[in-house]
A = this chain, B = another copy of it.
């Protein structure tokens, strides 16, 4: 069963609607830069190198999911060189779900798209997509897997889309700090207004005009709550059997929702649908 944490951020659409509305309508407000989420990183040096790359290109929100060698880590501090501030402000989580709970839009970095049907973005397109969403006050992030293993399919299934760098077929393995560097570099590159002009074709919910609950992307926590609800009912009904097939069935269902680009209102609609379908009609049952 998935554990759902609300995450540390304020959830858009929660109780303080006035403040959220102001935030969404103030384009002059500094962008909330994407979070860089390192999932089970192994070497402190690589965390430090990643922090350095982030600082080089204006990123600061480093999140670590269960770093192998614990935290804080002296080797990370040494490798970060002058970027110690990013390391010092890094936050640590037990689970991916907790680390990305407050985010609205999340990418998963992987060398090779797996069998999942998911949008695949280059670092350049990914940076543009995140920039567009950040401009609309969405919270965004990019997940990077462990050095050897990368992100597993369950982690990838939590993301909206896949980030893959074009590499030479002859030597396709990018190191963790290299991958963080390329994304961070493209993030800074796409900041200039000139570069922004051509970002027009991103696939996702329309973000024009004043956002409403109909168009405001659900947070990860809201989405995880929906998954938990649906999968719990499907477990009870016997749909997710045999047990050895359950993981791939769950991933496939989650990926359909990610492709949909689920809004806050969608989450409410789906939870209503699930409740309705699992309830026998009072009169004719």
Which residues of chain B are near A202, meaning CB under 8 Å? Answer: 120-122, 125, 164, 166
A109-121 interface bits toward B, Cβ cutoff 8 Å, 1 = contact, 0 = none: 0000101011111
Smallest distance from the beta carbon of A245 to chain B beta carbons, Å? 12
Q: Which of A1-9, A54-62, A63-71 contacts B (4 or more CB under 8 A)?
A: A54-62
Which residues of chain B are near A205, meaning CB under 8 Å? Answer: 117-120, 203, 259
Q: Which of A17-25, A94-102, A151-159, A269-277 contacts B (4 or more CB under 8 A)?
A: A269-277
Q: Which of A36-44, A134-142, A170-178, A219-227 contacts B (4 or more CB under 8 A)?
A: A170-178
Smallest distance from the beta carbon of A203 to chain B beta carbons, Å? 5
In the complex, besides A52-B178, A55-B168, A56-B171, 4 extra interface pairs with C-beta distance below 8 angstroms are A56-B174, A122-B203, A234-B273, A239-B277
Residues of A within 8 A of B (CB): 52-53, 55-58, 81-83, 113, 115, 117-122, 124-125, 162, 164-175, 178, 181-182, 185, 188-189, 196-197, 199, 201-206, 214-215, 230, 233-234, 236-239, 249, 252-253, 256-257, 259-263, 265-266, 269-270, 272-274, 276-281, 284
